[in-house]
DNA sequence: GCGTGTGAACTGGTTCACAGCG
DNA sequence: CGCTGTGAACCAGTTCACACGC
């Protein structure tokens, strides 16, 4: 029914959703497209186009009612029912993700952590249940975990991805610099390549300074 | 001299650069565009277009000489001389970044860590020198730090960004969900919004399942 | 007047297809 | 024959501009 949303639009709508909630906490009840845009660093007309994909929600001459907008976004983007996620690889980054507070408000529940080192599993203190890596397929399937945050060392990435696929995972956020894609048809991947972000930033600076000279 | 590279191209070239180095370690000396593409999950013609922005580097009927390609990339993207970076906010994520091993090969040196809690500064064990947040402008300027990884809590983000700007920072990787932009002309920002990544992934799943039904 | 909704124009990035060379 | 380099065709997403409603 919903016409297909561009991925860039989905990204921005996610941020708008977040903005709705945080702004509502301050007592505000409405916001114009240009004010939303200012908060998010994007132009107002883009905000309008994005929101407009969901239908006519704004009130002309008034802006968007935040409660209404939030509800529409939650519905259209599927934030209403909770999703289960797991962290694979409990090194520094993985452990940090395990305790990351900002997932909860989004109805994403971290239900398991995995690592191949039993030693490590025994030293980490967390309320989240932890398992050895070889149990990934079984635990993921049993608990109905749909999402994974993959934070293992590069060389362990393909194997870990394969185990997740075996468990029937549906989406992976890949913090590894390795390209994983066990089953493109069934599994969505989003890559976060930290080292490359730094490289890009560094290059952009370099190219800009270069140009200036 | 260099014609302006699209940002998407810079991102891919950074990954190609990384691939060059890691592949060379295995003893391989050449790679075709389609093999590079396969490793990176992008089509071969895109790889060729990207590399071609730097001039004619490939050998027709042969592929790309990895040593030569790596050298060209390092030169064109400015990876030759080191850049100094700092971590702002030493909670779990910040501490993890402080020890992240993958920055070194890219000539990015983490030269300082900052946090507003003196207590925290005293408990973290690291060879990197740590400073209280109010010293950001002075330390950044004195050490000639160009890049910052911003990992403070949301509400502290604008203030931290302002201090970095005051110190003359040139680029920030913003792990905060808050939009910062103290001085758009002078400071480049790259946003990594973890919670939103998860939201997007979740929505993509939702929309896909929806469509299937 | 303020602020949304939206078709139309534009932009830049991707994909195609093939010429050219070892 | 394999594989690069590249102009041309294509496409998605962004920007513009303005009509319409409160």
What pLDDT score was predicted for residue A175? 97
Report the predicted TM-score, pTM, of the whole model to 2 decimal places. Answer: 0.95
| Interchain CB distance below 8 Å, B103 and A199 | no
Model confidence over B185-200: pLDDT tens digits?
899 999 999 999 999 9
Q: Does any strand C atom come closer than 7 Å to the Cβ of A32? A: yes
Chain A's closest residue to B169, CA to CA, is: A205
- Residue A109 burial (CB < 10 Å; 0-12/13-18/19+)? middle
Candidates B14, B128, B174: best to mutate against A (most CBs of A within 10 A) is B14
In chain A, % of residues over pLDDT 90? 87
Residue A174 tokens, joined? 């890949």
Model confidence over B54-77: pLDDT tens digits?
999 989 889 999 999 999 999 999
Residues of B whose CB is below 8 A from A25: none
Beta strand pairing status for B30-31 and A188-191? unpaired
Question: Cα separations (Å) of B22 from B26, B31, B63, B180?
Answer: 7, 12, 17, 35
| Interchain CB distance below 8 Å, B78 and A2 | no
The Cβ of residue A184 has, within 10 Å, a number of other Cβ atoms equal to 9
Q: Helix-strand-coil percent breakdown of chain A, rounded to 5?
A: 50, 15, 30
* pLDDT beyond 90 at A211: no
**Shortest-distance nucleotide from B37 CA to C1':** D3
**What rounded mean pLDDT belongs to chain A?**
94
Quote the distance between the C-alpha of residue B123 and its chain's center.
Answer: 28
> Which of these, A141, A137, A126, lies nearest to A159 by C-alpha position?
A137
**What residues contact residue B42 under an 8 Å CB cut-off, 6+ apart?**
B12
> Which of these, B165, B111, B92, lies nearest to A126 by C-alpha position?
B92
CA distance A62 to chain B (A): 24
CA distance B142 to chain A (A): 20
Q: What is the mean pLDDT of residues A175-203?
A: 94
* pLDDT beyond 50 at B1: no
Model confidence over B82-141: pLDDT tens digits?
999 999 999 999 999 999 988 889 999 999 999 999 999 999 999 999 999 999 999 999
Residues of A whose CB is below 8 A from B204: 7, 10, 171, 188
Residue A212 — pLDDT band, cuts 50, 70, 90? low
What pLDDT score was predicted for residue A1? 42
What pLDDT score was predicted for residue B2? 45
Max Cα distance, chain B (Å): 62
The CA angle B3-B4-B9, to the nearest 5 degrees, is: 115
| Interchain CB distance below 8 Å, A41 and B181 | yes
Residue B43 — pLDDT band, cuts 50, 70, 90? very high
Q: What is the spatial distance between Cα A86 and Cα A97, in angstroms, rounded to a whole number?
A: 10
Residues of A whose CB is below 8 A from B177: 15, 18, 102
């Amino acid at each position: 029914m919903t016409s297909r949303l561009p991925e860039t639009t989905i990204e921005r709508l996610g941020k708008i959703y977040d903005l709705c909630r945080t702004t509502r906490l301050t007592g505000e009840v409405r916001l114009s497209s240009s004010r939303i845009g200012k908060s998010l660093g994007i132009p107002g007309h883009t905000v309008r186009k994005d929101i407009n994909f969901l239908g006519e929600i704004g009130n002309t001459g008034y802006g968007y009612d935040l409660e209404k907008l939030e509800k529409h976004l939650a519905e259209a983007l599927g934030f209403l029912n909770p999703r289960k996620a797991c962290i694979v690889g409990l090194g520094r980054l993985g452990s940090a993700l395990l305790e990351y507070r900002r997932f909860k408000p989004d109805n994403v529940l971290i239900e398991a952590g995995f690592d191949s080192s039993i030693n490590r599993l025994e030293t980490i203190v967390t309320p989240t249940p932890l398992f050895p890596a070889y149990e990934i397929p079984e635990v993921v399937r049993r608990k109905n975990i749909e999402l994974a945050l993959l934070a293992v060392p590069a060389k362990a990435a393909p194997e870990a991805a394969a185990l997740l696929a075996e468990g029937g995972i549906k989406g992976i956020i890949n913090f590894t610099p390795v390209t994983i894609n066990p089953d493109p048809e069934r599994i969505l991947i989003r890559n976060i390549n930290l080292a490359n972000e730094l490289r890009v930033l560094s290059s952009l600076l370099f190219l800009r300074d270069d140009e200036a000279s």
